[in-house]
Chains A and B, each alone.
Chain A
């Protein structure tokens, strides 16, 4: 079961396949291969056996460095495949795959066969159009190290993901997206509650999620089978934590696991009430929201309370200080005030990640309504945030609400009249608020992606590996926004690109064709060095785009300078006339008597 193929095998195969032999094995490089070449070549017949594996980093260090390159072999079976499973099925022909150069003696040293990530423990470099400058193409000597087993789709997925993540790596250095790039909206959501009754008491909110296609899974917060991930894979895309009083999660879940979930790029909605436990307070603190430390304190507002609470202690607040962002709260303005009863929190103004989505009025304060106020309350006025949203650096989104009732059917359905105001709204703004906020949190809105970063010299189309100073270049990038269902062109007039080397040398606003394409052209500055094309796009409510692409800029070559400088013609004339005169003088002096 070890077929081997020699250059004398099927002619078209041998002809088309080549291995890049690097003359100096310790030089590594990175370059792109077009996959359509791959499909053209052999995939139709042989793709089933074609192996593209990217060995996990770290394993290579165990290889024998001194293996001679003459042992370079690669695996490429020649037996006709039974099932023409083509690569074209899995990659669109325009995809580009980044191959990181590997040691030539990879196969020689027999890397252990890893069924999970690789198909065959070999890397076949395909003969691409962009032959790197210092490689030479050697005939293939083929040897199979391991019998080939048809991989199931599940096995192929990781390698496919790996490739995709490599692509995304190329586009954005901090690889942050947890969701597949194709669809950033969370789908599977775990709802943790103290009491399953919450499922019906807050059903309007949950139903709105379900109606938008989310799969909700309700669990008690102390369910012993609770777990967010299994085998290193997260089971959910989002977490709704409606369990304010839980002091310890069931199962393996704890505060750090929840934060790890967020750090992996997943979203979280956290709502507490006056009963908030240390656990949920800790989660909020780690997300940048500090709840009032007094466990008995709630937000009291004697001026802008809801009239239905007129005789009470003014803890039911009707607030309309909403964040002014259509991205977070939707295009339709929320008219009615929002009912809130719960505890307030503060956010650090220096913290650029947290935003106050719903702010208390200047007359609010946070104290225990049942006791007399002996000392000034620690949180007062509009520094109190009732609901905050946080977008982490990896674009995971978190919503922190001091009131669980904010989401309840009762608040969503109740009419509202703000104290001191004549208008009575039939329905509070809560429903619109929570629905729109949830849409934002679960990335139905405000999620941008940048693709097809291109740059080239003016008048050319291919992307050069290096620019020269004073070249004119064009730069373009496509930016799309996720609408919840599909990617739509993102239209703005403030997307800027920097040509950056320690500081921006060029900073230009890109023009857009309203179809997502942003482009600009500029002249490379008269400075050589390693520059970066940088797009740092951070706008309120949108995910941050951070693209950086390194490109060196070289000085003139020796023959790119002007050959003759007009201003120097007097000097040319001077030197040549001196030479001529000396020559004549020598002849006259030597031979004329």
Chain B
């Protein structure tokens, strides 16, 4: 081939392409960052939702008290009176990242507030995630696919929903860590370099620090290793990519306080250890195979197999015994609900009660990954033409994440990068084929007009056309130099290690060379390119719309458009500000756990339960109190030193995620621990309702009373706009609670526990006595003579 001829122009082109790629990547980063700023522009620069408030509070603590105090932080303002050891129960990655960024900025005399840093952490890291996607996809299918995938990921709605400015949650940095870990794994796999393997462990450590989703990595990578072994793709590179990760990664993971010994003791990690054993066995087998003659090897195989099976049986028996001895079979509830989607709803209402733990609906797939859903199959096909270690990993990643996203809507976030990578590959390949055929037709046309020898063209097509085609492949996708480099590296390794196993890349590349490239007609190509561009445009439009309209609401401030303009509901902050300014510092506020983080962060008051649902009994206690009649509830709250009770009520403005709609979960969770609370008592014929048909228990429980107290005074009928009917019990008084604050739109209502009565009344019979004896007494107002 004429490689040397093309060498000069190709390197220039390559350099130009490199600069262009960097520039494009920079722009992708800018897009990823700026598309997430809608929330700041449309609302304000605030922390969103629930968990971010906790992370924000932790970051504040970190920035003030330093890392050691953070590590040892015992928080006495949540989970009263149990408290929470925050340092040991929180994934510190996000906090440390933002804290470092804040410190860095401040040491450079950029006086940013902690809040600002927290708000913008997620957008910054989504830019990083886009670049990591580029690197990962480049390893899988070359830089063209990489850039496409990065561009797609920069604005995939699923990821935007978790990383808009202000959404300061673990996922913000964890997705970057996830992709980057995968990239380093693939990089190690492609190069067989221990350097990258070490980096891979460190990236894995960062992921463990950041998010509980690290178990996905430590299960996916072993699965891929197993897949490679099973399909006969074992190589020393695979060993180098995997073994250090397990050893170093597990050691590092055990350093994170929240993981600790779980890194070796829970079933989530067992898969990796099992594969670790298997890969050693396989390595041994390959080694023995290398030093023995085939005949001897056969003998050895039979010998080893009998012994090996016995040993395996013993090991498996021990493992099974170990696992069976633990009540949950060694799996945490969240992981179990991943494997068995019905597990949570059956056994753990507290997991099932979270909306983001529900299975997603079909529309939510379209909403969250849009056209990618159609491009992904094409990407899978592209991954199989030629199948390499890296592309098989991409496929495996996609398949598993599709399953997980089907279990929990929250894990759509893990699917998004996989879908982006696949779509990037698909788009890039499609563009590659189409532009190649267009170029081929155009060159053909030019050659026709220039040589004016149409007769010759016919015969030359078969011989010459392959040459420009090869060049085009090179320049379009710039895949070849990459592959060549890889080959070189791999060959060097091979020489060094004297290894006989063949580089996985050599085969497919050579196969590709021999395959006759697909050439499409010019018109079809042009139309297809146009359609693909339109498709991409639609995707961009959808993403921008989703970022601007659907995912930017901070959920502490709500807006609604109606015929008379924009309404802003800022009731949450109003209520928290009231608490902050009007209650004592040490007062305890009880509410359903959803509002725990916000109350501690915004109102700075002690809460009983919060969104870190680590103690089911404590939550069940609050749930029981909410589902009990007033007096029993008062006693429960009083025993917990609660001063104020906060309920969220949407009936006046039609805010659907209020406490009445969550109430059945309170009943279920409460009833799970305290059996006198029975769900059936709150349902009328299996239906949950609070209108006149509702059960007596429902109409007298604390939650109903606190939500609908004085509600009838608003419109005279007590029409609930969320449930869309009139409430069942309209006029009632509170005996043990008093209303102290209700926000402007009645969305948050705060009640105070009345103190115990100062006196105990005697047997009353007041009315009877009053009516009887006033009549008898009224006549004679004779004073008795005191002297007699």
Contacts and interface: CB of A to CB of B under 8 A. Distances in A.
B81 A531 contact: yes
A28 interface: yes
B76 A392 contact: no
A61 B585 contact: no
B787 A201 contact: yes
Interface in A457-499: 466
Contacts of B561: none
A396 interface: yes
A24 interface: yes
A195 B786 contact: yes
Contacts of A410: 787
B761 to A, nearest CB: 6
Contacts of A263: 758-759
16 contacts: A101-B585, A133-B64, A195-B785, A247-B774, A277-B777, A282-B766, A285-B766, A287-B759, A293-B765, A348-B760, A348-B763, A353-B759, A392-B759, A466-B74, A501-B82, A530-B76
A61 B576 CA distance: 10
B297 interface: no
Contacts of A100: 584-585
Nearest to A169: B584
A577 interface: no
A558 to B, nearest CB: 6
Interface in B35-91: 60, 64-65, 68, 71-72, 74, 76, 80-83, 85
B460 interface: no
A538 interface: no
B774 A557 contact: no
Contacts of A293: 765, 769
A404 B65 contact: no
Contacts of B65: 133-134
A390 B759 contact: yes
B757 interface: yes
Given A285-B761, A392-B759, A278 B769 contact: yes
B586 interface: yes
Nearest to A390: B759
B762 A247 contact: no
Interface in B733-756: 755-756
A275 B759 contact: no
B758 A392 contact: yes
Contacts of B578: 61
Contacts of B80: 530
Contact of B786 (A26, A201, A282, A393): A201
B72 A558 contact: yes
Given A26-B604, A530-B81, 17 more contacts: A23-B64, A27-B60, A63-B581, A101-B585, A133-B65, A245-B784, A275-B784, A281-B773, A282-B766, A287-B762, A390-B759, A393-B759, A502-B639, A531-B81, A550-B586, A552-B74, A554-B72
Interface residues of A, number: 74
A393 B757 contact: yes
Contacts of B785: 195, 197
Given A348-B760, A558-B71, A195 B783 contact: yes
B760 A29 contact: no
Contacts of A224: none
A176 B512 CA distance: 90
B582 interface: yes
Contacts of B766: 282, 285
A394 B758 CA distance: 6
Contacts of B82: 501, 529-530
A23 B62 CA distance: 13
Dominant secondary structure at the A interface:
loop
A213 interface: no
B714 interface: no
B602 interface: yes
Contact of B85 (A347, A501, A528): A528
Nearest to A101: B585
Contacts of A195: 783, 785-786
B580 interface: yes
B769 A288 contact: no
B582 A58 contact: yes
Nearest to B81: A530
Interface string B623-639: 00000000000000001
A277 to B, nearest CB: 6
A281 B759 contact: no
Interface of A: 23-24, 26-30, 57-58, 60-61, 63, 65, 100-101, 103, 133-134, 174, 194-195, 197-198, 201-202, 244-245, 247, 259, 262-263, 273, 275, 277-278, 281-282, 284-290, 293, 295, 347-348, 351-354, 390, 392-394, 396, 404, 408, 410, 466, 501-502, 528-532, 550, 552, 554-555, 557-558
Contact of B760 (A101, A275, A351, A530): A351
- Nearest 8 Cβ contacts at the A-B interface: A554-B74, A552-B76, A201-B786, A290-B762, A60-B581, A530-B81, A557-B72, A61-B581
A311 B762 CA distance: 35
Interface in B220-236: none
B577 interface: yes
Interface string B565-600: 000000000000110111011100000000000000
B306 interface: no
Nearest to B72: A557
B580 A26 contact: yes
Contacts of B577: 61, 65
Nearest to A100: B585
Contacts of A295: 773, 776-777
A259 B760 CA distance: 12
Given A23-B64, A288-B762, A528 B83 contact: yes
Contacts of A396: 758
A295 B584 CA distance: 49
B245 to A, nearest CB: 20
Nearest to B83: A529
Contacts of A194: 783-784
B759 A288 contact: yes
Contacts of A202: 786
Contact of B64 (A134, A289, A554): A134
Most A CB contacts (10 A, CB to CB) among B65, B578, B774, B781 go to B781
B223 to A, nearest CB: 30
A524 to B, nearest CB: 13
A396 B764 CA distance: 21
A57 B582 contact: yes
Contacts of B582: 57-58, 60-61
Nearest to B73: A554
Contact of B781 (A58, A247, A351, A550): A247
B327 interface: no
